[in-house]
Amino acid sequence: MQAQTWREPQGEAIANTTPAELEGVDVVEHLGGALPGDAVFRDSDGKTVKLGDYFDGKRPTLFVFAYHTCPMLCSLVLDATVKALNDVAWTVGDEFDVVSVSIDPKDTPETATRKRAQVVESYPRARGSTKGWHFLVGDEPQIKKVTEAVGFKYRYDARQKQYAHPAAIYLLTPDGHLARYLYGIQFDPGDVRLGLLEATEGRSISTTEKLILYCYHYDPQGKHYSIVAMRVMRIGGGLTVLVMGGLLAMMWAREHRKRKKSKTSADVESRESSTQAVNATGRTPALLGDAPARSRSEA
């Protein structure tokens, strides 16, 4: 693809090229790929852990790369993540976990503790608890194992003493496979919710959530979930048939009850008429019909 150009008033063409500091910074999606569960890190308590310890086979994981001394972008990504999660019905630590791995080998469990506290403070549902929030630090070889598995390409700018890196979060299946990439410094809560639903692979989600997931698919061009009109039409058509069928069944049942009630009322009225006739003459209707003949015989 050719680089786009723009012209200054003087007519000089200048190529729109990538700054040298950002060359090679990218995300190469490895959807369905597995993260290395044997990658070794230290958690915020200084305990040695393996990345696979956070994949329990039951709940999805929201995964993010962020180093703790990042002057801007990492904080923007983490803040945007928490902001989106505040509008997601599922709760961190209950339905899913958040795992953040620092790309800076100089970060320590102490910096991880401070960063986690800053992030969790903006999540009211935590109520002072850090349950479900995991911030990990490690050596460069272990970090590289994970970034390569994700396709997260970054570089260190020695002049500015900063890391140049993409802005994204990643949604993992319960067994640690990449289910979805979400990009930017703002994340739509609906996209995060749908991504988590997708990452569950159908485990423990409600019928309503399954219908929601059925109606949406991820648009790789727009980098977000979009509604699928044909699926909605199918569901709408199915619901229409169900509703119409239900209404027809109700109408039939009501008419059936009405006819049964009318028949019952007629029978009751007939019996009441017969009873009244017997009470008035002391004879049955058949005997009353014979009265004239008996009168002539007696005469």
C-alpha span between 102 and 152 (Å, rounded): 12
Would you state the pLDDT for residue 194?
Answer: 86
Q: Is residue 153 part of a domain?
A: yes
For residues 212 and 133, the model is more confident at 133
Question: Does residue 25 fall inside a structural domain?
Answer: yes
**CA 190 to the chain's CA centroid:** 7
Domain count, the chain: 1
> What's the rounded Cα separation, in Å, for the pair 41 and 147?
14
Contact indicator for 199, 90 with CB cutoff of 8 Å: no
What's the pLDDT band for 8 if we cut at 50, 70, 90? Answer: very low
What's CA 133's distance to the chain center, in Å?
Answer: 19
Averaged pLDDT, 140-157? 95
Residue 225 Cα distances to 97, 154, 198, angstroms: 21, 26, 11
Confirm whether 162 is domain-assigned.
yes
Domain carrying residue 44: 18-199
- pLDDT per residue as tens digits for the range 267-276: 666 666 666 6
Specify the higher pLDDT residue, 129 or 213.
129
Tell me if 157 is assigned to some domain.
yes
Please report the pLDDT score of residue 243 as a whole number: 65
Tell me the residue ranges of DSSP E strands in 143-284: 152-153, 155-157, 162-164, 168-172, 178-183, 216-219, 224-227
Task: Tell me which range, 143-152, 173-182, 233-242, is most confidently predicted by mean pLDDT.
Answer: 143-152
CA 58-27-20 angle, to 5 degrees, is: 155
Q: Name the nearest CA neighbour of 82 among 113, 44, 116.
A: 116
In terms of phi and psi (left: phi > 0; alpha: psi -120 to 50; beta: otherwise), the region of 51 is: alpha
**Which has more confidence, 283 or 74?**
74
- Amino acid 23: pLDDT: 72
| Within a domain: 273 | no
Q: What is the CATH number of the domain that holds 27?
A: 3.40.30.10
Q: What is the pLDDT of residue 100?
A: 98
Give the pLDDT confidence of 43-93 residue by residue, as tens digits. Answer: 999 999 999 999 999 999 999 999 999 988 899 999 999 999 999 999 999
Q: Is residue 73, in this structure, part of any structural domain at all? A: yes
Inside any domain, residue 213: no
Band of pLDDT at residue 24, cut at 50, 70 and 90: confident
The pLDDT value recorded for residue 35 is 97
Encode 12-30: b = buried (16+ Cβ within 10 Å), e = exposed.
eeeeeeeeeeeeebebeeb
Residue 239 lies in a domain: no
Answer positive or negative: Cα dihedral of 50, 54, 56, 62.
negative
For 220-260, what is each residue's pLDDT tens digit?
Answer: 556 554 544 444 445 455 556 566 767 777 777 777 777 77
What is the average per-residue pLDDT within 264-290?
58
Whether 198 has a pLDDT exceeding 80, the answer reads yes
Q: What's the CA gap between 142 and 156, in Å, rounded?
A: 17
